[in-house]
Structure 1
């Protein structure tokens, strides 16, 4: 069935183009367009992500060297960097944001049965943000500090498959805790966050919605113990208590009991204090849940290293958001392909293979099966590969 099709064309066949065209229509993306449609813009930007292109000229030269194969890759003709630059500036970034969210829904359905290793039926999310530094003189709209520009990528990561279920791109000044206002809490789900998200009125809203949270307590938190549960100190759990808040405002913001777990890490010797509204799970599971939050940090490091979200192909806010969303959708697309083809290789290995073979006319299964996966060694060297993907 794939005879004569390049690997790139086969990858693009996994995308729901009918859905993409609906989003283009919704935002009038192709209105008045003569030379480069939104679909072709997406293909070119996806190609840039998969082959690690660093600039518009880089993309133009690379595609220009393979003119005879462009038709078989889904391109109508040669690509000019000025045309792509104009498309990135003018095509509404929400087309690619909505399309990325659609792919995220697909990927999460594929990974829904993955085991977290915590014997939980609940969906577990890790919430955090990462700052993407920009040059203030080139990106003045993203003013962050006196001499610095930046955007923030607020991400809610589904730990089953490490698929981002929610992404919001803001200016660098937006405080992390405000991301909680943008979420639609899922009853029964567990949200794992660091201390930057401790705002008791917002946490109480999560509680009222039937969701659970696990976070760390701030050192200045005022509270008193209501009762304690017996613990086994040999496991590192020093105490497991129900507490009530004592602060004038905090006890109004969160009027019901919280659970406080004090844990001493045997390896580092650090003592950590966790807060949660989940009263029934074992204390060890709560500690393991917070430890799993590190997956979102690894996700940020991974996409910054292996996708193009630090060197941008345009300077406007629209161009930056377009590139970030297409990068995320490419990450999710490769995760979908990995699951649908039942591949054992890591995403890192798949991306490395694809970066060198996109022009080849062989089947995806042939190119990606029996791939020697050296991600274990790579992980030891720089610790940027996500486990299990």
Structure 2
């Protein structure tokens, strides 16, 4: 999945390895590369900015409000943290690499980038599965854990999710490598899943990778959520007499939130997985029309990468739209900053003009934030 922007170079490498039995190498460039390059950079910039603001706000909303510190919300926070790590580390590297074509970051970053991305996707997938089970347990009253043990059990689940995600991402770090080659009179360093793996396990992993990723990272969370959502719906219908209670309404809202997150995940990741499966099943390196087919797959890859990247920033937006509690939390969070940024900026200017000591300035800034609610307030001076 990682670094699909060099998928056409990957097939070029395969032809170099198997040149004895294959037709002449495919040297035809994909005509959409320059156009899609700028589209990807634009999308990456939007995802980077919206993703950082949205996921940081989501984490702060959960942390700052005691009523939001629940088991499901901690899982959502774990999901947001995984997206945030991917946004901060992977997206800038991939955007720079797309513009530069050559890989300038070395072997360590080459292995670390797909590892982080696969860990992030694993955290997303397993968190969605855990949320589905958690909502079902809440409806059927499985969960008899009370008090402090609720937090302990949630911490154990989140830890297990991250450990499993990290372990499943290890083959990406092992298999990815740098290849130096001459391509159309250019000396390029390429970071990709090496076409020739040295161990039997990695050879097997490379041969089944596309189907493994499609099955575990895409189909499994959808099937898992469908099963538990169906069971949960049946249980709720049996208890229709309690449909108007506030407690049941809250459970339905959380269930709707989980369903929305899964739907967003499916929409964002389907094009990329579909592209990979079609490429795995239809591409024939001995076909004389493989260059034309590769260009078509490259279009799907670019579109799939853009859609998959959106998943890292769209969850906070989805939560804002479907959850009353999250909507209220986001409004309070952004209202605070939109209201106090002008006050803080004016305070900085006023304190600088008065020549306050830096430590005193910080104290005065906090005093302003706590005390004053509008720009017409009377400002304290340094003598206070």
TM range (shorter): under 0.3
* Greater strand content: 1
Q: TM-score, normalised by structure 1?
A: 0.23
Max radius of gyration: which structure? Answer: 2
